């Protein structure tokens, strides 16, 4: 009785061994996680003015400003929505008329009959209209981190 390895050709064993080795050695490989760029965020010092009900023209003046996303490290989310519409109209009109008139004198061949008048005419009329309309909508959301606040609050 032959063993299992004696009945299988050596080429097949080599292919199976190569596949097994590639599976064993590739299972340990991992891709490194994506890195995010470092952002230096240092909180700004808060200054308070004494002796007034309203803190002045600073960012805490809630009558005239919104204090959302006004500190370093705050996240600002911007929603962009664009809607476009276009309409194109076209009208076409064309008219052709043709006519032929003739008079045949039949007196020479038949004196009892009078001259015969014949008219032949034709015409072509074409009218066409076309309307093309298109509307699109684009929307996007962008998020940003506040990295610097200027002296005027921007």
**Domain residue limits, the chain:** 4-28+39-145
Question: Distance between CA atoms of 97 and 123, rounded to whole angstroms?
Answer: 4
Question: Distance between CA atoms of 87 and 92, rounded to whole angstroms?
Answer: 17
Per-residue pLDDT of the chain (154 residues; tens, 9 = 90+): 555 555 556 667 778 888 777 776 765 566 777 887 777 777 767 665 565 555 555 555 556 666 677 788 888 888 999 999 999 999 998 888 887 777 766 655 565 565 566 777 788 888 899 999 999 999 999 998 888 888 777 7
Give pTM, 2 decimals. 0.35
Question: Distance between CA atoms of 109 and 39, rounded to whole angstroms?
Answer: 112
């Amino acid at each position: 009785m032959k063993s299992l390895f004696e009945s299988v050709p050596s080429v097949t064993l080599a292919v199976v061994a190569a596949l097994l080795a590639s599976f064993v050695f590739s299972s340990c490989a991992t891709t490194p996680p994506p890195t995010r760029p470092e952002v230096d965020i240092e909180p700004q010092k808060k200054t308070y003015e004494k002796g007034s009900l309203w803190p002045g023209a600073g960012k805490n003046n809630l009558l005239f400003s919104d204090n959302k996303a006004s500190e370093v490290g705050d996240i600002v989310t911007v929603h962009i929505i664009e809607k476009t519409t276009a309409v194109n109209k076209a009208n076409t009109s064309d008219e052709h008329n043709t006519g032929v008139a003739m008079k045949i004198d039949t007196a020479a061949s038949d004196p009892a009959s009078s001259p015969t008048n014949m008219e032949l005419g034709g015409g072509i009329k074409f009218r066409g209209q076309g309307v093309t309309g298109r509307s699109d909508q684009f929307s996007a959301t962008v998020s940003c981190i506040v990295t610097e606040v200027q002296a005027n609050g921007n």
